């Protein structure tokens, strides 16, 4: 392959460097395009062809169904590592030694209390508030309680903010769920592992001793690992672009949580379960819903199917499908919803419409079934995704700051009115 790409405009040729990533991905570096051509820009709605940054965190090959964090395969990490090890790997670039891992966990535990005044903010939300809105607000509010986490130029300051948010997020999540359920808040137990403590804070009851179920701990740990990063998706790009203005980490994460909320992104896990329940209530006729999904005059889409970058099986979905079977088996749950999900998957994989468009089940298709078996309310599903994605957002934000990336500011092609004279209101 040549080293440059040529663009010809009005019989004038412009050359741009071709750059290659470590996995041989190829990009045309057009950073000088506008300056050298006197104002020409590229137009790429939805950024389907645009690389917004160089990144050394996550590699994915959507054609082959490959996903690696810092070079390690998602399959191996899900089987052999725990969530905090993966968080450390994503954020700092290497798997931690035993000492580094213990220190990281101790530092997170030391930050696992939130200011009591956070409760007042929580109290002010109506019970019907969607937990994603509450979590986004509380994450943003953390800045007010920890003002030193805004100006974080040194690695040391960044580290403090990182362990702070990793320590406090499980509390915010658990409290948001308990508040909605009318349960008293639980302050957790720092003698427990990160995931065990999260489960305790979510599910303990004031009148009984919470007993950990290793099957649930293992399943949740896996789910969090599988969600931990996914390179430049909608919420991650939001975190990077918000942080590029030098907004603090918590404000950037709050923006990312809002982006994740949408049903085309993280909100899909809630939408999948709602769809499966609706199909069940409607008599379980999967063929009817397959037909709706293919009907262009019907806005219905098969939630949990398709992905912007995976044009093959989502490798995370393969692992989650197995975990869902395992969890339901170990818990002795017989969920008719799982049968509907399996039926839909089988039909979609054999259907020409889905085959032609390379629409496969994505990570959200099966995660909701596990969350449901664990007793997590549907509205909390996307919040669980957010806890999982937290290390990825942090890693991407930190990378962006350390690389001293410029403020994100895309261009546009203006298609509005050209210059016109103002008409006074009495003459309009």
d(CA 259, CA 273): 20
> C-beta of 70: minimal distance to ligand CMC in Å?
19
CB of 382 to ligand CMC, least distance (A): 10
- Give, for 57, the enclosing helix (H) or strand (E): none
Identify which of residues 266 and 391 has a Cβ nearer to ligand CMC in the complex. 266
By beta-carbon proximity to ligand CMC, the closer residue of 174 and 363 is 363
What does each C-alpha distance from 84 to 81, 166, 181, 340, 426 come to in angstroms?
8, 9, 28, 34, 66
Which residues, 273 to 302, sit near ligand CMC by CB under 6 A? 293, 301-302
Q: Name the residue among 76, 340, 100 with its Cα closest to residue 68.
A: 76
Cα separation, 367 vs 372, in Å, equals 9
Instruction: State yes or no: is 314 an active-site residue.
Output: no
Nearest distance, CB of residue 261 and ligand CMC, angstroms: 11
> By the 8 A CB rule, do 70 and 57 touch?
yes
Among 180, 200, 222, 307, binds ligand CMC (CB under 6 A): 307
Provide the pairing of β-strand 26-28 with 58-61. Answer: unpaired
Select the span of 17-25, 119-127, 214-222, 261-269 touching ligand CMC (CB under 6 A): 261-269
Q: Which of residues 339-398 bind ligand CMC (CB under 6 A)?
A: 357, 359, 362-364
- Span interacting with ligand CMC, options 7-15, 50-58, 244-252, 258-266, rule CB under 6 A: 258-266
CA 284 – CA 68 distance, rounded (Å): 37
Residues in the interface with ligand CMC (CB under 6 A) total 20
Identify which of residues 119 and 357 has a Cβ nearer to ligand CMC in the complex: 357
> Cα separation of 367 and 111, whole Å?
29
Q: In whole angstroms, what is the distance from residue 70 CA to residue 329 CA? A: 33
Q: Which of 305, 366, 381, 393 binds ligand CMC (CB under 6 A)?
A: 305
Indicate the residue whose CB is closest to ligand CMC. Answer: 306
Q: Return phi, psi of residue 59, to 5°.
A: -115, 130
Q: Tell me whether residue 153 is one of the annotated catalytic residues.
A: no
Q: At what angle do helices 268-281 and 381-402 cross, to 10 degrees?
A: 160
Distance of CA 346 to the CA centre of its chain: 26
Q: For residue 304, state whether it binds ligand CMC (rule: CB under 6 A).
A: yes
The active-site residue, picked from 130, 307, 314, 351, is 307
Task: Name residues contacting ligand CMC, limited to 224-243 (CB under 6 A).
Answer: 230, 233
Which residue number, 179 or 316, has a Cβ lying nearer to ligand CMC?
316
- Distance (Å, whole) CA 45 – CA 336: 40
Contacting residues toward ligand CMC, per CB under 6 A:
230, 233, 264-266, 268, 293, 301-308, 357, 359, 362-364
Catalytically annotated residues: 307, 364
């Amino acid at each position: 392959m040549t080293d440059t790409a040529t663009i010809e405009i009005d019989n004038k040729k412009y050359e741009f460097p071709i750059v290659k990533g470590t996995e041989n991905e190829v990009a045309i570096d057009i950073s000088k395009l506008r300056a050298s051509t006197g104002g020409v820009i590229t137009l790429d709605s939805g950024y389907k062809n645009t690389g917004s940054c160089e990144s050394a965190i996550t590699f994915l090959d959507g054609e082959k169904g490959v996903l690696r964090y810092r070079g390690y395969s998602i399959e191996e990490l899900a089987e052999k590592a725990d969530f905090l090890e993966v968080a450390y790997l994503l954020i700092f670039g290497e798997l931690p030694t035993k000492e580094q891992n213990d220190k990281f966990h101790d530092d997170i535990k030391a930050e696992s209390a939130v200011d009591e005044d956070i409760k007042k903010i929580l109290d002010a939300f109506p019970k019907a508030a969607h937990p994603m809105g509450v979590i986004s607000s509380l994450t943003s509010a953390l800045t007010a309680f920890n003002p030193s986490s805004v100006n974080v130029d040194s690695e040391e300051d960044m580290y403090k903010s990182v362990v702070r948010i990793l320590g406090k997020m499980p509390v915010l999540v658990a409290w948001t769920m308990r508040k909605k359920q009318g349960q008293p808040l639980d302050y957790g137990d720092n003698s427990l592992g990160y995931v065990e403590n999260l489960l305790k804070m979510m599910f303990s009851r004031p009148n009984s001793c919470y007993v950990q179920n290793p099957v649930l701990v293992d399943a949740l740990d896996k789910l969090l690992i599988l969600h931990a990063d996914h390179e430049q998706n909608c919420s991650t790009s939001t975190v990077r672009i918000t942080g590029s203005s030098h907004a603090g980490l918590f404000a950037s994460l709050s923006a990312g949580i809002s982006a994740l909320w949408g049903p085309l992104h993280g909100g899909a896990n809630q939408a999948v379960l709602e769809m499966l329940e609706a199909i069940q209530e409607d008599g379980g006729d999967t063929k009817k819903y397959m037909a709706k999904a293919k009907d262009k005059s019907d806005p219905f889409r098969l939630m949990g199917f398709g992905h912007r970058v995976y044009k093959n099986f989502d490798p995370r979905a393969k692992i989650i499908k197995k975990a869902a079977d395992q969890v339901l088996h170990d818990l002795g749950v017989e969920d008719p919803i799982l049968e509907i999900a399996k039926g839909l998957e089988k039909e979609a994989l054999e259907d020409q419409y889905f085959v032609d468009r390379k629409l496969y089940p994505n990570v959200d298709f099966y995660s909701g079934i596990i969350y449901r078996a664990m007793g997590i309310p549907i509205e909390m599903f996307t919040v669980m995704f957010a806890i999982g994605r937290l290390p990825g957002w942090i890693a991407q934000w930190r990378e962006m700051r350390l690389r001293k990336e410029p403020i994100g500011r895309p261009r546009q092609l203006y298609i509005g009115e050209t210059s016109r004279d103002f008409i006074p209101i009495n003459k309009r």
